[in-house]
Amino acid sequence: MIRLRDVSLKPAGVGQPVLHSMTLSIPQGEFRWLLGPSGAGKSSLLRLLTLGARPASGQMDILGTSVTGASRGALRNLRRRIGFVPQDYRLIGEWTVFDNVALPLRLRGRSERDIRQEVFSVLEWLDVAAHAHSRPTILSGGEQQRVAIARALIGRPDILLADEPTNALEESQARRLLSTFQELIDLGTTVIVATHNESLVREAPAQSIMLRDGTLDPQAIAP
């Protein structure tokens, strides 16, 4: 469950808020497209929802925890329940693909044996298992994107957020990813995908969150 009430986001050193008085509610296990032109605030909203920033004002609850007054420990635990596929992949270049993908499980204290099994399983599914021991910097954009997707999926998050997760994927891979999102939703995961890809939105009709100039366009919250 994600609930925002009158939330604004104002990054340090920026005069004007980048998100204004945003109010929305997404029940657990639902899918939303996050749409809007460049600069509308999609990345800022995702940053807020991945707990990369705290709201300047308003009330934000994620998975039953009030983010506004949460302790660092509570935020840390929430972050472990959120999977994120960033647009720039955000992989650690000095680590191997395996270590990058294994990180969420290691942070949860899982055994290396389980981690190895799960990491290879997800890497094989995404067709990047052959690169498990390579550094991500030598991979193509599409391969890096699949590694980032693997890292987001591996912890079976309660919330999955993705920023343009298909822009470096082939069409068949993009469709496969959408079906994976659907499987996660069936398992109770909330999925929010920011995209400019209109054909993808047409292919999987769902409610959308439309942003414009840092505010929510209420007319667009509909299939």
Residues that bind another protein (CB under 8 A): 50-54, 72-73, 75-80, 84, 90-92, 94-95, 98-99, 102-104, 106-107, 112, 151
Q: How far is the CB of 182 from another protein (least distance, A)?
A: 24
Query: Do 195 and 35 meet the contact criterion of CB atoms below 8 Å apart?
Result: yes
Euclidean distance between CA atoms 79 and 88, whole angstroms: 19
Of the two residues 8 and 208, which places its CB atom closer to another protein in the complex? Answer: 8
Of the two residues 174 and 184, which places its CB atom closer to another protein in the complex? Answer: 184
Among 82, 86, 91, 197, which residue's Cα sits nearest to residue 144?
Answer: 91
Q: Supply angle C-alpha 7, 39, 152, rounded to 5.
A: 75
Q: How far is the CB of 188 from another protein (least distance, A)?
A: 19
Q: How far is the CB of 161 from another protein (least distance, A)?
A: 11
Q: How far is the CB of 117 from another protein (least distance, A)?
A: 14
Of the two residues 11 and 39, which places its CB atom closer to another protein in the complex? Answer: 11
Joined together, the tokens standing for residue 6 give: 């009158």
Query: Do 183 and 204 meet the contact criterion of CB atoms below 8 Å apart?
Result: no
Among 159, 158, 155, which residue's Cα sits nearest to residue 104?
Answer: 155
Of the two residues 104 and 214, which places its CB atom closer to another protein in the complex? Answer: 104
Q: Supply angle C-alpha 114, 88, 72, rounded to 5.
A: 60
Q: How far is the CB of 106 from another protein (least distance, A)?
A: 5
113: Cα within 13 Å, side-chain hemisphere: 0
Of the two residues 32 and 151, which places its CB atom closer to another protein in the complex? Answer: 151
